[in-house]
Amino acid sequence: MPRVAGKKSSSLSVGGFGDFVFSHRDEILQSWIGAIEKNPTISSDNLTRGQLLDHLPALCGELAALLKHPKAKSVKKEARRDARAHGWKRWRQGYKLDELIREICVVRRDFIDTWLPSLGATDKFSDVDRQSRARRIVEVFFDNVIVEATVQFVRENQQTVLQVHPRERSNKKSRASAKHKFVRLISHQMREPLAPLLLALDFLLLRESFSVEGIDIVRSIQSGIKKEAQAIEDLLGLVDSILAENENR
């Protein structure tokens, strides 16, 4: 466990936690990367440490800033932006959706289990209420990072799927054959990310100690995904029936 030297303070503010994160950022980042590399369910072997860091330094700085100023809207906005950028980058680097979610959970758990207790063990932050407030801020922060990164990851995948259509239309095969191939391709690629996403969200609800807001956000995303999956099924059923009618004419 990291060693932390603290000073006496009578204030109930958690700003000192933010100062701690700022001053120990490099150590915290190394701890995060080490936890990611040790996790066998995350395919990080083909990435350098620099590539693994990606937007984690920015997110670490924003976590520190929110611990100092929990209501800072500008910091929350920057954190959402960097979380989305992290999801985009991991998609480009070949991560699977469950690996992205698991990676952020690993980082979250490392910070909560290692760094908060280390700081809480000092005289300066031995107050239980102060520790609880700091933990609450950390939990909500990572809840939002998971949501923003996940949504961006899925969005990137969907945009790639949509680009298939113009390429398919340029195919020189017969129109009937091209239509059938397109339907099969869209059926597979549009639905493919939805099932693992739902499983990953179920996994999070079972294994991770989300805040109340985090649970509500995850359940809202689940509901939206199920509606999207049903819409895809309805659309594909309609397209299949139209194609079948055209072939029988």
Residue 10 pLDDT exceeds 50: no
Q: Which is higher by pLDDT, 188 or 84?
A: 84
Q: In the prediction, which pLDDT does 16 show?
A: 83
Residue 153 pLDDT exceeds 80: yes
Banded model confidence at residue 9, pLDDT cuts 50, 70, 90: very low
Q: In the prediction, which pLDDT does 127 show?
A: 74
Q: In the prediction, which pLDDT does 8 show?
A: 40
Share of the chain above pLDDT 90, in %: 34
Banded model confidence at residue 7, pLDDT cuts 50, 70, 90: very low
**Lowest-confidence region among 19-23, 191-195, 243-247:** 243-247
Banded model confidence at residue 77, pLDDT cuts 50, 70, 90: very high
Banded model confidence at residue 38, pLDDT cuts 50, 70, 90: very high
Q: Which is higher by pLDDT, 44 or 133?
A: 133
Amino acid, single-letter form, for residue 69: H
Closest of 61, 74, 82, 78 to residue 19, by C-alpha: 61
Banded model confidence at residue 66, pLDDT cuts 50, 70, 90: very high
Q: In the prediction, which pLDDT does 111 show?
A: 93
CB burial of residue 111 (10 Å; 0-12, 13-18, 19+): buried
What lies within 8 Å, CB to CB, of 194 at 6+ separation is: 225, 228, 229, 232
Beta-carbon count within 10 A of 208 CB: 19
Banded model confidence at residue 235, pLDDT cuts 50, 70, 90: low
Are 225 and 97 in contact by the 8 Å Cβ rule? The answer is no
Residue boundaries of the structural domains of the chain: 14-142, 163-249
Instruction: State the DSSP code for 124.
Output: G
Q: Roughly how many angstroms between the first and final C-alpha of the chain, as a whole number? A: 74
Banded model confidence at residue 59, pLDDT cuts 50, 70, 90: very high
Of these ranges, 13-22, 172-181, 222-231, the one predicted with the greatest mean pLDDT is 13-22
Q: What is the mean pLDDT of residues 103-131?
A: 81
